A and B are shown apart, each in its own frame.
Chain A
Amino acid sequence: MAYSYQLKRVDFIFRNENDWEKVLSNTIKKKPDEIINELISSELKGRGGAGFPTGLKWKLTAESKSKEKYVICNADEGEPGTFKDREILTKVPYKVLTAMAVCGYVTGAKEGFIYLRGEYKFLEEELNKTIDEFQYYCQEINLDFKIKIFMGSGAYICGEETALMESMEGRRGEPRNKPPFPTQAGYRKKPTVINNVETLVHTWTIFKYGAKKFYDLGVQYSRGTKLFSVSGDTPKPGIYELELGMSLQDFVYEFGDGDTKAVQVGGASGFLVPRKKFKDTAIGYEGKLVGISLPTGGSMMLFNSSRSMFNVLDNYLEFFREESCGQCTPCRVGCQQLLLGIKAVKRGEKPASYLDKLLKLTETMQLTAKCGLGQSVANSFSSIVENFREEMIY
């Protein structure tokens, strides 16, 4: 068996280290290529959900020819059940800033932004103070890199990288077509690195402790650690740093309340795993562990046997219906119809077989929706409807 029988707690991310000045000045003594190779060999993948290799993202942006480039830290954290980025920005913001500045050095960007969700406005003042201190040091070492906060205004879709850039450019947060990818044409159509808050902190760990230290944690294809935001029916809700590759069974032993019926991995846009599949599910990126492997932005919501899965799905669909940007038809109309559809089945106005039509609809959405929001509605919909069909009907 590839999975461990024990969760491996780690403490890198929140470890309080007051040597960021040294980490920054030492790292930028290296050549950009060296730093990129270090990141590539660590096999760090993005922690915002999509799992793109971070080293490659920086490399592509570094190779894009432009005088104007940008670094963006995605702190829009809107996925239901995710609250780790807020904690990072509260406890170890200087690690994020250092990583952004190194990214600027590596790619040639002179400006960085933290896109902070409106719901976290209370963080702004303190964070600005840290930024001021940080900028003072950058001047001292002649590093030409400016960081600013850009506040969001309450729109989940603005976490999607291109919607975020539209929003920063003063428009509706409607995702763009890809390609071109942000590494070629991002903010203001210039090459841009956009990384999740947590991803940036992992790069700090790699700069400070070396790629090997990071690579040695986790399992094949899923290296390093990950922050998990644990909520729902659990005696110990909170934020935990764990090695990737753990089995969901072990996770539930640790965090369940003894009556866990299902776990939603990855928030509303993730998957629901019922009890019978816990032991075959591992948390990590693609590549075979045991059974199914689920990537995640770190949202782990536990449900015990007192919960109605119909209510859970109803809540998610309502979320998507409201947060869909409305730009493309499959998603805009699809979310509305799914919500009406499950209610109609529940009320007995439509036969149970109507659920199969709705499943077909989510398949269509997966294929035709423009961005990750519309494409991923199928994840929770099909995993809930297929595993708890009777609860949708009776």
Chain B
Amino acid sequence: MNPIKSLIKDLADLHGRHRENLLPVMQGVVQKEKFLSEYSMIEIAREMDIPAAEVFGTATFYSFLETKPAGKYIIRICKTITCAMKGKNQLLFAIQDMLKIKTGETTPDKRFTLLETNCLGWCHKAPAMLINDDVYTEVTPEKVREILTNYMKENI
């Protein structure tokens, strides 16, 4: 069986095939594949017996359920007020400069995607960012260069 098909079947087996299980199944696909392709959404619809349009409508509502191809590491920089005051733009510039991509883009090697997001719940340690599920706080341009260098060194 094709890997996405079998991933979706496994997720549906694990969580269930009711409408309440749709988010966990979609989250599982995003965890693995980084985004929900049209193919994944149609496959989820088929596996769970939910209209594909409903799957699409639900997926596009949630900012963490990407529907565009994304890199292995999704960097999300908080742009809400406290982080904006405490230098999130400098972070963005440092990352854009290092990865040679603009906000919203993915590096050609599909390693990194750079996004902005709303308050991450770390305003007392602003500026804050997420790389996939990991939180980094009180980030400076120097620190972010160091962090990204470490991610780049990782194999695969």
A interface list, Cβ under 8 A from B: 77-83, 85-86, 117-122, 150-156, 167-173, 188, 229-233, 237-239, 268, 301, 307, 311-312, 315-316, 319, 322-323, 325
Which residue on A lies nearest to B60, using beta carbons?
A172
Set A81, A120, A169, A230: member contacting B20, Cβ < 8 A:
A169
A sample of 18 more A-B contacts (CB under 8 A), given A151-B27, A307-B85, is: A79-B119, A80-B82, A82-B121, A119-B117, A151-B24, A153-B62, A153-B63, A154-B64, A154-B117, A155-B61, A169-B20, A170-B22, A170-B50, A172-B58, A231-B124, A232-B85, A301-B81, A315-B80
**Minimum CB distance partner of A234 in chain B:** B124
Q: Do A237 and B61 touch across chains, with their CB atoms under 8 A apart?
A: no
Please determine whether B65 and A120 come into contact, CB atoms closer than 8 angstroms.
no
CB-defined contacts of A150 to chain B, threshold 8 Å: 23-24
Contacting pair A151 B80 (CB below 8 A): no
Interface residues of B in 85-129 (CB under 8 A from A): 85, 117-126
Interface set, chain B 7-35, CB cutoff 8 A to A: 18-24, 26-27
Q: Are A312 and B81 in contact (CB under 8 A)?
A: yes
- Taking CB atoms, residues of chain B closer than 8 Å to A325 are 61
Most buried by A among B58, B117, B119, B126: B119
B38 at the interface (CB under 8 A from A): no
Q: How far is the CB of A112 from chain B (nearest CB, A)?
A: 15
Check if A121 sits within 8 Å of B133, measured CB to CB: yes
A152 CB contacts on chain B under 8 angstroms: 62, 64
Q: Write out the residue numbers on chain B whose beta carbons fall within 8 Å of the beta carbon of A85.
A: 121
Q: How far is the CB of A315 from chain B (nearest CB, A)?
A: 5
Measured between beta carbons, the chain A residues less than 8 angstroms from B22 are: 170-171
CB pair B122–A83 under 8 Å, yes or no, is yes
Q: Does B3 contact A (CB under 8 A)?
A: no
Q: Which of B129-150 contact A (CB under 8 A)?
A: 130, 133-135
Query: Would you give the shortest CB distance from A39 to chain B, in whole angstroms?
Result: 28
The 5 closest A-B pairs by CB, nearest first: A170-B22, A154-B64, A237-B124, A153-B62, A231-B123
* Known contacts A153-B23, A153-B62; A120 and B82 CB within 8 A of each other: no
Q: A121-B133, A315-B84 are in contact. Are A153 and B65 (CB under 8 A)?
A: yes
Q: Is the CB of A83 within 8 A of B121?
A: yes
Looking across the interface, which residue of chain A has its beta carbon closest to that of B119? A80
Query: What are 14 A-B contacts defined by CB distance under 8 Å?
Result: A78-B119, A81-B123, A118-B64, A121-B133, A150-B23, A167-B23, A169-B19, A171-B22, A171-B58, A172-B58, A188-B20, A232-B123, A237-B125, A268-B80
Q: Which residues of A contact B27 (CB under 8 A)?
A: 151, 153
Contact B20 A170 (CB under 8 A): yes
The CB with the most chain B CB atoms within 10 A, among A120, A168, A232, A312, is that of: A232
Q: Is the CB of A316 within 8 A of B123?
A: no
B85 pairs with A238, CB closer than 8 A: no
Cβ-defined contact, A86 with B121, below 8 A = yes
Pick the contact of B121: A77, A155, A188, A230 (CB < 8 A). Answer: A77
Cβ B118 vs Cβ A80 within 8 A: yes
A79 to B58, CA, bound (A): 22
Cβ 8 A contact of A170, one of B58, B84, B85, B118: B58
| Chain A residue, CB-CB nearest to B30 | A153
Q: How far, in whole Å, are A169 and B18 apart by their CA atoms in the complex?
A: 9
Q: Is the CB of A154 within 8 A of B62?
A: yes
Q: A81-B123, A301-B81 are in contact. Are A319 and B133 (CB under 8 A)?
A: no
- Tell me which residues across on chain B come within 8 A of A231, comparing CB atoms: 82, 123-124, 126
Please name the residue on chain B nearest to A316 by beta carbon. B81
Contact partners of B26 in chain A: CB under 8 A: 153
* Max count, chain A CB within 10 A of own CB: residue among B80, B81, B122: B81
- Whether B85 lies near A156 (C-beta < 8 A) is no
Beyond A81-B82, A119-B121, A315-B84, whether A172 also contacts B19 by CB under 8 A is no
Q: Which residue of A lies closest to B132 (CB)?
A: A121
Chain A residues in 8 Å Cβ range of B120: 119
Is there an interface contact between A122 and B134, defined as CB atoms closer than 8 Å?
Answer: yes
A303 to B81, CA, bound (A): 10
Residues of B within 8 A of A151 (CB): 23-24, 27
For A307, the chain B residues whose CB sits under 8 A away are: 85
Q: How far is it, in angstroms, between the C-alpha of A122 and the C-alpha of B128 when the chains are bound? A: 14
Closest to A156 in B: B118
User: Are A81's CB and B58's CB within 8 A?
Assistant: no
Q: Which residues of A contact B125 (CB under 8 A)?
A: 237
State the CA gap A169–B23 with chains docked (Å): 8
Q: Inside 8 A of A168's CB, which chain B residues have their CB?
A: 20, 23
**A319's contact among B21, B50, B58, B118, by CB below 8 Å, is which?**
B118
